Structure 1
Amino acid sequence: MKTAISSNLSRIRRWFPLASVLAMLLTASLPSRAATPADRLVARGGYLAKIGDCAACHTVQGGADFAGGLPMQMPVGTIYTTNITPDPHTGIGRYTRDDFERALRHGVARDHNLYPAMPYPSFSKISDEDVDALYAYFMKSVKPVKQRNRQPDIPWPLDMRWPLKLWNLFFLDDTVYRAKPNKDPVWNRGAYLVQGLAHCGACHTPRGVAMQELALDEKSQIFLSGASLDGWFASNLTGDNNAGLGRWTENDLHMFLKTGANVHASAYGPMTDVINKSTQYLSDEDQAAIARYLRSLVPSHAGDVNEREPYRYDGEATAALVAGTPLSNGARVYLTYCVSCHGVDGRGRAPFIAPLAGNPDVLGTNPLSLINVTLNGATNLVIGGVPAAYPMPKFKLGLTNQDISDVLSFVRSGWNNSAPAIEAQDVAKVRASTSSK
């Protein structure tokens, strides 16, 4: 009996490799199902959702995709992003295509008006075809998640939503983007993405007293000239020589969108999420189109220092650091905490470690982001699944407000940066406002 079993097992072992090969050949010979128009529409919607960076706002760390719950600070209180999965009870599962379009482009959900923290003033420019693709993706590809939306933390009567109808009446231009006939297709594609689905102006354009964006396209020099946002300063993206992108080439911009870093700067703060979850996944063609459009923007001259002449490096600060005496407190702090990464010459190790000499965020008048990143550090850029090797550490426990103001003032005056000094009280304000985050 044992001999028979052993013989059968031996026979099975001999035939198993051949059977495996036959199975693979048979599988390979079967025709694969061709993608249908509906499949392609869903796939395009998924790509568009990446461009729109929907996950950055509607997915919290450790939470389900697109289930919402991210807190967003507004002048009247805190709101929480909503569940945009196709769950029929707590998400958008019962939305028709027209319901979806009204929320996306007009800021009107099925039962209430949306706050303009939802960038529908930008999304209003999205084409009908792209709305169709986004709707198909969210309804057919996103997993439904049953998670109720959290109510805003806004006191009555400021929580009433009917005034948002008036806000839309005064500030919403819901005209779909129209290509400029005097511009080439690449420029127009970039303009469509920047002004619309990528909603760059929602962060990078200054806002008025009613929290409206003061400009919606390149017709105004204010558009994308930089703005304060939740403890950070969203950078100037106009053609300013020093605080803007005037010294960047289209290739520099393309690399920044793909990797979050180039010879001029590295992404940090909220821009890290944009790189991690959105721009690195864009096609080369769309990255190039965005770069073409941004490079076409004229300088804003938004109050920044010495904008008429492009920045030129000066090694005087390097010589002083090498000589060692006499040194200010800012220089001593720099030698102790900063020089090992950013170098005695302030040039960093681009693209792995950002330069400080000539960095647009160093040259700008608003130091909010510099203070915040020095206090609280930076989260990792993750490109192609690989985290950055040298994220900015946090120094809020090791350095006093005076130390941070001194070292940042040293950086902003060294290597011909020529930017205004920072006061200790400015650091104290940012420390207090970010201590619970």
Structure 2
Amino acid sequence: MKKLLLTLISVGIVVLAAALAFAYWPTHTRAIDAGPAADAALVEKGRYLAYAGDCTACHTKPGGAAFAGGLPIASPLGTIYSSNITPDAEHGIGHYTLDQFDRAVRHGIAANGSSLYPAMPFPSYARMTDDDVRALYAYFLHGDIKPSAEPNRATDIPWPLSMRWPLAIWRKLFAPVPDAVAFDDKRYTDPKIARGAYLVQGLGHCGSCHTPRGVALQEKALDEQAPGYLAGGQVIDGWFAVNLRGNTADGLGRWSEQDIVDTLKTARNAHSAIVGQPMADVAVHSTQHLSDDDLHAIAAYVKSLPATANDPSSYTADDHTAKALQAGINDSRGAEIYVDNCAACHRTDANGYTRVFPAIAGNPTVLADDPTTLVRLILGGSHLPSTQAAPSPLGMPAFGDRLSDDEVAKLATFVRGNFGNHAGAVDASAVSKVRATLPKE
């Protein structure tokens, strides 16, 4: 027994030594040529790319200075706080060289050599071109961003989980090296789709939320060459990121290119799409500022993605439930709750009102394999944000104070199994779990 214990200890020491050696082995990166001095055009290009990358969403906390960081980001290990990326020389990135900026953005390596948490989507940003990195640097260092002396806040992750060196192992295993996976637009025959792919896979980092994660919390795919890319599967801040592929039920198979453009530009479309708070923030801070050409390119690329296999939900237009409700036949508790609480806005045929109240029939959020967003909407309500093209912030009231967990489950099950919708039932225990995550007033 003693001999076995000594053997295990020896093996453990060897494994730890190997892990440390792998973690601390320097990551070679290619220095970007500084190119011409920053001018107004380069800075303005960088501003546009910052919108495309949605930098403000993570690096600006409510009520805080722009890009001064401090936004809490939940992780399985504890809370991470975004960093100050203003041009302040002490607390921000004002002292960063272009090479250091590139190592942080595309490689996940801070100026001091430590690894960044992958809450920073550097696995996606690795696809950015040198020219775009250079323009972003010009904007953040020489644009109109005011330096902020806001100090960076340490994480709330307890020791020893807070040690950074294991992040280097994660980075080397799961984050692509830019030189190896530089975006290749020649893979796409249509230049429009190639541009959309570049924005979706790179700056837009859409897969960070909409692609399933593996056991090490790595994205299972970083582009469409793997079937799980953008297939949904993550709950972000209590909202389920839906499938963006061509599935006709829980995906965007029945949406047109213009429907996707409208959602990105205005946070609503002809279907009056359900947009959760994280995606509403994307529309407000990022996609509404993109050009129509780029929005159409993004939409064209997303529309090129085929449906995933083995979709558990389905939708077939069916007016049987609508006719029953219109005739006053409420033959289940779920039907009664729907008529009493939902039909006034979403109608008894569940088709809602165009660009105002979402259709429930055939809605991808309603039909999603994970009903978290639907349950959260019923419990806590939501609102469509005000955007430049659609300034009215339409809202849905919360029903959590008047409906029990069992009633919410019955309502969610009813809308997922009627009006032509065919998706799994919702259990009261699932509702209880979502209720526990809602902000406390």
TM-score range, shorter chain: 0.7 to 0.9
Deviations 1:208-265 (A, max 9, x none): 1111000000011100000222322101011112111111121221222111112332
- Code of the aligned partner of 1:433: T
Asked whether the equivalents of residues 363 and 419 of structure 1 are also in contact (C-alpha less than 8 Å), the reply is yes
CA distance in 2, matches of 1:368, 1:252: 24
Aligned equivalent of 1:222, options 224, 228, 232:
228
RMSD (Å), alpha carbons: 1.6
1:407 offset after TM fit, Å?
1.0
Larger mean CA deviation between 375-384 and 236-245 belongs to 375-384
Contact 1:242 1:363 in 2 (8 A): yes
Partners of 1:123 and 1:81 lie apart in 2 by 17
Q: Distance in 2 between matches of 1:103 and 1:91?
A: 13
In structure 2, distance between residues paired with 1:342 and 1:386: 20
1:6 maps to none
Aligned partner of 2:300 among 289, 292, 296: 292
Letter in 2 for 1:133: A
Q: Percent identity?
A: 48
TM-score with structure 1 setting the length: 0.88
Instruction: Note closer, same or farther for the CA distance 1:123–1:332 as it changes in structure 2 (3 Å cut).
Output: same
| Partner of residue 343, structure 1 | 347
Query: Displacement of 1:59 after TM fit?
Result: 0.9
Q: Which moved more, 1:147-156 or 1:316-325?
A: 316-325
Q: Distance in 2 between matches of 1:80 and 1:215?
A: 26
**SS of 1:332 mapped into structure 2:** helix
Structure 1: state its 5+ residue gaps. 1-35
CA distance in 1: counterparts of 2:320 and 2:132, whole angstroms: 53
Are residues 1:422 and 2:429 paired? no
Q: Counterpart amino acid of 2:296?
A: A
- CA change 1:270–1:362 in 2 (3 A) is same
1:259 paired to 2:266: yes
The equivalent residue for 2:42 is 41
| Aligned residue among 279, 283, 299 for 2:287 | 279
Which residue number corresponds to residue 245 of structure 2? 238
* Distance in 1 (alpha carbons) for counterparts of 2:126 and 2:188: 23
Secondary structure at 1:383 match in 2: coil
Q: Output aligned runs, 1:120-131, within 5 Å.
A: 120-131=122-133
User: Kindly tell me: are residues 37 and 302 of structure 1, through their superposed partners in 2, closer, same or farther at Cα, counting changes over 3 Å?
Assistant: farther
SS in 2 for 1:73: strand
Corresponding residue for residue 214 of structure 2? 208
Could you say which residue in structure 1 is the equivalent of 2:257? 250
With over 3 angstroms needed to count, the CA separation of the structure-2 counterparts of 1:116 and 1:302, relative to structure 1, is farther
- CA offset digits 1:292-314 (Å, max 9, x no partner): 100100111254224xxxx3321
CA contact (8 A) 1:266 1:351 kept: no
What SS class does the counterpart of residue 176 from structure 2 fall into? coil
* Counterparts of residues 158-173 of structure 1 (less than 5 Å): 158-173=161-176
Partner amino acid, structure 2, of 1:266: I
1:12 corresponds in structure 2 to none
1:149 offset after TM fit, Å? 1.1
Q: Is contact 1:121-1:172 (8 Å) kept?
A: yes
Aligned residues: 398
C-alpha distance in structure 2 between counterparts of 1:182 and 1:426, whole Å: 42
The alpha-carbon deviation at position 323 of structure 1 amounts to 2.1
Instruction: Please show how residues 83-232 of structure 1 align to structure 2 within 5 Å.
Output: 83-111=84-112, 112-141=114-143, 142-174=145-177, 175-228=181-234, 229-232=236-239
Aligned residue for 2:251, secondary structure, equals coil
Give CA deviations for 1:365-412 in whole Å, capped at 9, x if unaligned: 210111112222224411118543421222222221111111111111
Distance 1:389 1:102, change over 3 A: closer
| Cα pair distance change 1:40/1:156, threshold 3 Å | same
Contact 2:38 2:138 in 1 (8 A): no
Secondary structure of the residue aligned to 1:350 is coil
Normalised by the length of structure 2, the TM-score is 0.87
Q: Is the 8 A contact 1:272 1:381 kept in 2?
A: yes
Aligned-partner Cα distance in 1 for 2:218–2:310? 18
CA distance in 1, matches of 2:400, 2:90: 44
Partner amino acid, structure 1, of 2:100: D
Give the conservation status (yes or no) of the 8 Å contact 2:81–2:153. Answer: yes
Structure 2 gap ranges (5+) = 1-36
Report the residue type matching 1:231 in the other structure.
G
Contact kept, 8 Å, 1:225 with 1:302, in 2: the verdict is no
Contact kept, 8 Å, 2:86 with 2:93, in 1: the verdict is yes
**The structure with more radius of gyration:** 1
Are positions 1:324 and 2:328 aligned together? Answer: yes
